[in-house]
Structure 1
């Protein structure tokens, strides 16, 4: 008798628990060693999870199975990120509002909005004021993209939010990923230009038109994501197929960006 049949007929909670532990551990090993599971292995995982879901398991086990099933499904269909506009709205930020998101409305050649002309003393004072209010810090940082300091402050704010409430449906995680992906396009080695120079040469609305795909970008090439971020993302979405910057994914557009910044 096969293992799935034994699970079905024995209906042993102890055996079911052992299988769940084994599934989670094997999945974590795939993430740890950055291995890509074969279609056959994914199918086997799905079958085991479906059979486990038929058993009278304790209520606290069901979310674990659901998360595992979602991670496996992501490998078949790809991770569907929460739309950026929706994620921002959770934190009181309107993507279609020029005051909230000036860089994403600005057209190069027009007068640069005052908020994008420099990060002065007032900006630093506001950050200090909102030290214990991560949502306010996030709003302030988003308003001042594409400054490098604003990218970093946005990530710090989102990490604080995730520490407070880290649930599978939290909009903070996809928003952190969007910001890291945008940064991987904007960043220039060895030194990224000032935010006002970037904004004057390249509109953020251009990035909004580009698809942000987790399976294509992964985590390791996104410099803003630390180890904890990467582990949290891969635990939630599963291991990606590859790792690269958004700049690598869009080489022609990135060359246009580099040329525009150099001429500004």
Structure 2
């Protein structure tokens, strides 16, 4: 049975991605900063008939927590097939380039960038044991530098000095990681779940959680001929599904 770890999976898109991977026959380790909330989420999925799910406590901004999660997972499995780096924060708005406190920007980067780097580095040894490892970095369409410099883009005016730049940095890290793993079976991609109605945006998005999670799962279950080092965004590029960086 294939295994998957999803960070920030106790609610919203991460939770739904866990449900969909369970439907695909995976054993899912449901990462949550608060173990009690993770257990509640796992119990909810079990009540729906999914037995192959269990919570893992992990705070992606805390190196000790990441190390403890790696140790805990290593006691349960020797192989990890999928890592979905889903945990993320937006930070407080507005986020002006000249007016946002550096500490606020650093806080967003701690989760959205450095958290992804720390988790990926900690769990890559288990991923290397998989015959077909997949890493999915959950980004945003707002992380596209190309589109942010195009006045005709529909989200051109949605500038956020902390959130958008953190996702652009995450996209850059995804490219570096994919390059480093280019001669291996790894598939490493950044996926924009789309503007989705969640607590993250006070349910202002038009997209559904189910559709957003399906985008992550699609990248997590790519076949051997699937692409790597791509920025998937149905929102930015509805025809091709590949967003410009």
TM-score by length of 2: 0.29
Larger fraction in helix = 1
Larger fraction in strand = 2
Larger gyration radius, structure 1 or structure 2 = 1
